[in-house]
Structure 1
């Protein structure tokens, strides 16, 4: 079979209704073009399957991005991503690749249309992820940290067993004496939020318990979203926070509402932050083992690039680190619920 001809600059120019010079400037990041024109040309090139020719040897490069939110935020400051990025960089270098970390603001930066990488590691990809769409169209090998929001047959990903982990946390809280266990979970389109919430709902259904779900709000430093949940005779007596700041939000809420931890409220938080070992009281955490996950994902990606084959999925076990915040406590005496 004869090879399918690759699109030329002239093909892109005709499809985008611009000149070949405009196409060249748009793809190379040169010239004085309107942002909308540059974006339209790059999107047209991607749709046609155009790949920028390599005129000189370059370092083999992997890319990594967190695409959960279409806004600017510094994911490198979050403990999970910070540890994962360090491990991914080390693993990439061990395989002879450089690692390029992309900023999170996809809406303002369409660089992935001309991104020069051999493969891409995408973390927490949501449904309708435009970066995934563009990279798939260009035929760039992809591996996901976390099941992608729009999975396709043959996708490659590394993740934890969130159902098993969530059930382990809830069983631990129930064994410690908790009777009304709530979940603080995300409302985003990423697989993690959906998987944890579904596992929690299933666990509650098996026991005939009403699910109590509090949406995660990273800006709620004082944990005010928990106030209604933690007041009254039918208040929750345990909370599993599925995101890193949730543990400190619950500590703040308990202090404000005069609830002793763990006697009146048991707390577990999914976090890689070592600071939870020194809070008062130390908070029980779930580790998703970001280093092991990142190393496995890079190895998958390199295998996919170099051999064209790799396992479809790899499951990394999570771990429950039990501390004082969720140990069995005694119900406080009436009028003595405070710290």
Structure 2
């Protein structure tokens, strides 16, 4: 029978450092020089070390920790369901199983004892207790979304939210909008703050007044829009960009209540993976964050950390988002910057360091 596998003490002896240095180097914590961190990881890989202190399980874990503690079913959300399907397929293709953790705080003991080789964390918030537990165990972690306080050696997969926001706003302006509202200001995810900041800068550059409508997941009728939709014509928004999936439906409900026709009087874009937006009346322009590519890229990055830690490149791996233009942002009286082909057109948004395969094909909406 195989033995229990190398321990942190074994790695410390082989690398000629203290066990504390090994823990910091493997967990991305403390003040460890890059050369020392790399040497420790190379020794750990050579010894076949798994942070679980035993033979590798060839199992990856996945947790959505944005609202950890709330008993919500993230699998029902289109973005997460599509990402999970792609991540599972990517893990299986590499010979790994993928275990999903529930969001409820009742699962907390699992974070300290779950038998996995590494973890994928989606939308990890500041002070994330799951992340603290994983770092304490020395488990490799790859993030979907920039972590609030990245450490040396951290790897995350994300979109370019500055570029995405500007692409959407530029499209709305080209379609004739002069007063664009942002439906956001909810949660502490990195992408929310990044998108809101990009919106503020874009408005300042053009001398356009900011109108941020607060999003509430329980506001199905879209009452948050009432104050701005009921305002005088010179201040009422003539376009809205919703950064949360339910936001588009809320904006549609509020527009109908206030008698605003889409797209004649109100242009609408929503960041969503829900195919129902394409089938509505009118079809709504959407932004896809490409969750399938993000899921596959995150799994590939985590497996690389496990199998070739010396070759892993820290920092952000960027997946381009894509805007699909539909009727809700095409006015017959204006000339849009991009003329749709038949009912829709999809464009990839720019990116820096791009995930392999991210620019191939078009999103399935």
Bucket of the pairwise TM-score, normalised by the shorter protein: 0.7 to 0.9
Secondary structure of the structure 2 residue equivalent to 1:227: helix
Residue 326, structure 1, aligned to residue 329, structure 2? yes
Q: Structure 1 residue 114: deviation in Å? A: 1.1
Cα distance in 2 for partners of 1:229, 1:220 equals 15
Q: CA offsets per residue over residues 70-121 of structure 1, 9 Å max, x none? A: 3111111000000000000000000000000111123663320112110000
Secondary structure at 1:247's aligned position in 2? helix
Alignment CA distance shift 1:213-1:300 (3 Å): same
* Pair 1:135–1:58, CA change in 2 (3 A): closer
Q: Contact 1:262 / 1:329 at 8 angstroms: preserved in 2?
A: no
Could you list the runs of 5+ residues in structure 1 that have no partner in the other structure? 7-50, 332-339
Q: Give, in angstroms, the shift of residue 53 of structure 1.
A: 5.0
**8 Å Cα contact 1:177/1:329 also seen in 2:** no
1:311 deviates by 2.3
Aligned-pair distance for 1:307? 1.1
Q: Structure 2 unaligned runs (5+)?
A: 1-11, 21-50, 335-365
Q: Show the counterpart of 1:304.
A: 305
Give the match for residue 80 of structure 1: 79
State the Cα deviation string for residues 296-338 of structure 1 (Å, max 9, x = none).
110000000111132222111110000011112559xxxxxxx
Do the aligned partners of 2:57 and 2:115 also contact (CA within 8 Å) in 1?
no
Matching residue of 2:134: 135
Instruction: Give distance in 2, aligned partners of 1:107 and 1:190.
Output: 22
Counterpart of 1:201 in structure 2 is 200
The question of whether the paired residues in 2 share the 8 Å contact of 1:149 and 1:189 is answered with no
- 2:282 is paired with a residue of what secondary structure? coil
User: Is residue 64 of structure 1 aligned with residue 62 of structure 2?
Assistant: yes
Q: Is the 8 A contact 2:244 2:272 kept in 1?
A: yes
Decide which structure has the larger Cα Rg and report it: 1
- Once residues 189 and 145 of structure 2 are traced to their aligned partners in structure 1, the CA distance between those partners, rounded to angstroms, is 8
**Secondary structure, aligned partner of 1:117:** coil
Indicate the larger mover: 310-319 or 154-163: 310-319
Within 1, Cα distance between the matches of 2:150 and 2:185?
A: 20
Match of 2:254 in 1: 253
Q: Check conservation: 2:185, 2:212, Cα contact below 8 A.
A: no
Counterpart mapping for 1:283-294 below 5 A: 283-294=284-295
Number of residue pairs aligned between Structure 1 and Structure 2: 286
Q: Distance in 2 between matches of 1:276 and 1:158?
A: 26
- The equivalences for 1:237-248 within 5 A come to 237-248=238-249
Once residues 219 and 254 of structure 1 are traced to their aligned partners in structure 2, the CA distance between those partners, rounded to angstroms, is 17
Q: Distance in 1 between matches of 2:114 and 2:209?
A: 48
Q: What is the CA–CA distance in structure 1 between the aligned matches of 2:150 and 2:296, rounded to whole Å?
A: 21
Say whether residues 1:2 and 2:13 are aligned partners. Answer: yes
Aligned counterparts of 2:106 and 2:57: Cα–Cα separation in 1? 28
| TM score, norm. by length of structure 1 | 0.80
* Aligned 8 A contact 1:162 1:196 in 2: yes
Question: Deviation at 1:164?
Answer: 0.4
Distance apart, 1:230 and its partner CA: 1.1
Secondary structure of the structure 1 residue equivalent to 2:213: strand
Shift of 1:59: 4.0
Residue of structure 1 equivalent to 2:362: none
- Which residue of 2 is the match for residue 171 of structure 1? 170
- Please say if residues 120 and 144 of structure 2, whose CA atoms lie closer than 8 Å, have aligned partners that are also in contact: yes
Q: Which moved more, 1:290-299 or 1:180-189?
A: 180-189
